[in-house]
Amino acid sequence: GAVVSQHPSRVICKSGTSVKIECRSLDFQATTMFWYRQFPKQSLMLMATSNEGSKATYEQGVEKDKFLINHASLTLSTLTVTSAHPEDSSFYICSARDAGRYTEAFFGQGTRLTVV
């Protein structure tokens, strides 16, 4: 199957700082990438959908100024958590859709963010 690489896998940052998470599709072009957040023993909650070259679409309740998403190329999307607070600590997962294989999505390994 297609490979999606997410980096870093773990990050610890201080309150008030910003953290950038990268999501790359390694062997396919991802016209659409999705960012999810997952709390322990909970489902994946969709945060936003990003399409290459256009602004991301955020789900209700997700602050777009806090979670900045950039999808500048067909293989790279980034999520920046700005002015992080301890309540932003979570597991963040990206997924990418292959334009040629439209039905399933391929997921990155996830990023465990801890804000101290």
Residues that bind another protein (CB under 8 A): 1, 4, 6, 32, 34, 41-44, 46, 49, 91, 93-95, 103-110, 112
The verdict on whether omega for the bond into residue 8 sits within 30 degrees of 0, i.e. cis, is yes
Considering beta carbons, is residue 27 or 104 the nearer one to another protein? 104
**DSSP letter assigned to residue 88:** G
* Smallest separation, CB 114 to another protein (Å): 13
SS3 112: strand
Interatomic CA distance for residues 56 and 61, integer angstroms: 14
Considering beta carbons, is residue 35 or 88 the nearer one to another protein? 35
Question: Which of 39, 41, 38, 60 lies closest to 49, judged by CA?
Answer: 60
* Smallest separation, CB 63 to another protein (Å): 19
Considering beta carbons, is residue 54 or 103 the nearer one to another protein? 103
Considering beta carbons, is residue 38 or 82 the nearer one to another protein? 38
* Smallest separation, CB 109 to another protein (Å): 5
Burial tier of 52 (Cβ tally within 10 Å: 0-12, 13-18, 19+): middle
